[in-house]
Amino acid sequence: MNAPAQSTAGGASALLEVRDLRKYFPVRGGILNRAVGWVQAVDDIDLDVLPGEVLGIVGESGCGKSTTARLLMHLIRADAGRIVFDGNAVRADDAAGLRELRRQMQMVFQDSYSSLNPRLPIEDTIMFGPKVHGVSSAEARERARELFALVGLDPAQFIRRYPHELSGGQRQRVNIARALALEPRLLILDEAVSALDKSVEAQVLNLLLTLRRELGLTYIFISHDLNVVQYMSDRVLVMYLGKVVEIGPTAEIYQRMQHPYTEALLSAMPSMDPDRRTETPPLVGDPPNPIDPPPGCRFHTRCRFAEDVCRRAEPRLGPAAGEETADGPAAGADHLVACHMRVAASGHSLAPAG
Ligand code: SF4
């Protein structure tokens, strides 16, 4: 295992447990179209999702957030790793297990239009999943009408419409209804509100929080918008170049972040509150090429604290050292970081390199 299991508040067992998950995509070239390199999209990550929580995942474009989501759904095949849902390990070659997993885990994508079949009335789209799982047409139709009401769409007005007859916000409500049609326990929301206008985005976010409360759902909420992730999430996981670099309760991450990458990411977060503006310089430059990531800590090429050890040794995820602040005590046991200078008892100090 690459990192210690993430500690869970109150010792609750995870609904979803992921260990050593890896996905490299081949880069092909030459006249024989052979693999000439590998994009290390997701590299040996561990994560736990607790029942009923919202786990936010953040990071720059290309950090591996969406690839992780697709691996968890088994939409693409992992090169290595173990995914355990509700105590059952799911194997890629177990068709019945995958079918059951996809009933219990559903996904909502960013592009609300291409997620729907343009040739089908939206009622038929919502009925499709339950019918495939053996629900009768009459029951599936009844369930579709209930789901429309649940996501705030009047069935009488909308149910026979086609996707092109709906606004972006209405289409995303339909996608949420479709995701709920099989009564899943976990929803993966991959940039699900990113394409919406701000006013519509707020409505859909509040709808998601209401559904979570009323239906007892668990979410993995992926977004590049740090304000939205803070609003939605109980815990936040930060990814950089295919690796998990920090994870912890939302307040802990936003107020006492430990990893220099998290700090730089949050310092770029727009805020009207002068108390939330930081002295931390924003990130400069693009992330390194994921085909040839830097040795040691992958962040060392952009880190103002990098020392020799950072270029030589890869930091492992471990309990954050933290510091006593006016806001509270040092980092809790459920706050993990992958940084030589910030992991508890590392012996290094986080002072800018000369
Ligand atoms: Fe920066 Fe070193 Fe920490 Fe990496 S391990 S984030 S390079 S201080």
DSSP states of 111-175: -TTTTS-TTS-HHHHHHHHHHHTT--HHHHHHHHHHHHHHTT--HHHHTT--GGGS-HHHHHHHH
Q: Is residue 317 part of a domain?
A: yes
Residue 330 pLDDT: 57
Q: Is residue 313 part of a domain?
A: yes
What's the mean pLDDT in 234-252?
96
Q: Is residue 307 part of a domain?
A: yes
Domain range for 334 is 246-271+279-346
Q: What is the pTM assigned to this prediction?
A: 0.89
Residue 93 pLDDT: 86
Residue 239 pLDDT: 97
Q: Is residue 211 part of a domain?
A: no
| Helices 122-132, 137-150: inter-axial angle, 10-degree rounding | 120
Is the C-beta atom of 239 inside 6 A of ligand 1?
no
* pLDDT band at residue 344 under the 50/70/90 scheme: confident
Q: What percent of the chain stands above pLDDT 90? A: 71
What single-letter DSSP state applies at residue 300? G
45 CA to centre of ligand 1 in angstroms:
18
Tell me the three state secondary structure of residue 2.
coil
Ligand 1 atom nearest the C-alpha of 340 is: 5
Distance separating alpha carbons of residues 310 and 338, to the nearest angstrom: 11
* pLDDT band at residue 275 under the 50/70/90 scheme: low
Mean pLDDT of the chain: 88
Q: Is residue 285 part of a domain?
A: yes
Q: Is residue 240 part of a domain?
A: no
What single-letter DSSP state applies at residue 304? T
* pLDDT band at residue 21 under the 50/70/90 scheme: very high
* pLDDT band at residue 80 under the 50/70/90 scheme: very high
Is the C-beta atom of 306 inside 6 A of ligand 1?
yes
Is the C-beta atom of 339 inside 6 A of ligand 1?
yes
284 CA to centre of ligand 1 in angstroms:
15
What's the mean pLDDT in 260-273?
83
Inter-residue contact 208 to 11 (CB < 8 Å):
no
Distance separating alpha carbons of residues 169 and 199, to the nearest angstrom: 10
How many structural domains compose the chain?
1
